[in-house]
Amino acid sequence: MMQKLLSSSRYLVLIAVLGSFFAALTLLVYGGVSVFQIIADAIMHAEISGKTGKLLVLGFIEAIDLFLLGTVFFIISLGLYELFIDDTLPLPDWLVIHTLDDLKNKLIGVIVVVMAVVFLGHVIKWHGEQELIWLGGAIALVTAGLTYFVGSKKK
């Protein structure tokens, strides 16, 4: 009885799977709508200047950030489903997850890309050199730590 209860409890992960899936769906749809809104605003205002160009690029970078974060949540959803519910999902090889370490490694890769996009957004805004140096240094340290973490796990 206890064994059956514990083996069935793995389905509790469906709460996390559905939650992360709907978070991904929301972020991806919101990002798509924001891209169309940015395009519509650019066409309606039709002002060509360096400042407008920077704002346009910044808007698209923020939309890409939403897409990347949506992708992170989607990978979490798929990974948890594969790990706890059904390991036979037809997925591309790069997305197949058999262990929790596989999921962590895929997430770390996407997190590094998200941090790079966030940094790029700050480079475009660029209010002061000091802020940019500290942010870049922090992102570099986190990236180095994550790289060391992934590298030490493989050994």
Tens digits of residue pLDDT in 23-45: 999 999 999 999 999 999 888 87
User: What's the rounded mean pLDDT across residues 89-93?
Assistant: 85
- 132 close to 123: Cβ distance less than 8 angstroms: yes
Tokens 């997305």 locate to 95
Q: What is the mean pLDDT of residues 5-19?
A: 86
What mean pLDDT do residues 3-9 have? 78
- Going by C-beta distance under 8 Å and a sequence separation of 6 or more, which residues neighbour residue 95? 75, 78, 106
d(CA 99, CA 15): 19
**pLDDT at residue 47 in the model:** 77
pLDDT exceeds cutoff 70 at 153: no
- Residues 62-83 as b/e (b if ≥16 CB within 10 A, e otherwise) read bbbbbbbbbbbbbbbbbbbbbb
Cβ–Cβ under 8 Å, residues 14 and 85: yes
Q: Distance between CA 36 and CA 57 in Å, rounded?
A: 14
Q: Which two tokens stand for residue 136?
A: 């870049």
Residue with tokens 């979490």: 76
The pLDDT of residue 17 = 94
Q: What is the pLDDT of residue 155?
A: 58
Q: What residues contact residue 123 under an 8 Å CB cut-off, 6+ apart?
A: 132
Model confidence at 8: pLDDT above 80: no
The pLDDT of residue 6 is above 80 = no
- For 113, the token pair is 């890309």
Per-residue pLDDT for 93 more than 80? yes
- pLDDT at residue 67, as a whole number: 93
Amino acid 18: pLDDT:
96
Dihedral angle over CA of 123, 129, 135, 139, nearest 10: 70
pLDDT of the residue at 19: 96
Of all residues in the chain, what percent carry a pLDDT higher than 70? 96
Residue 127: the pLDDT is 67
> What letter would DSSP give residue 46?
-
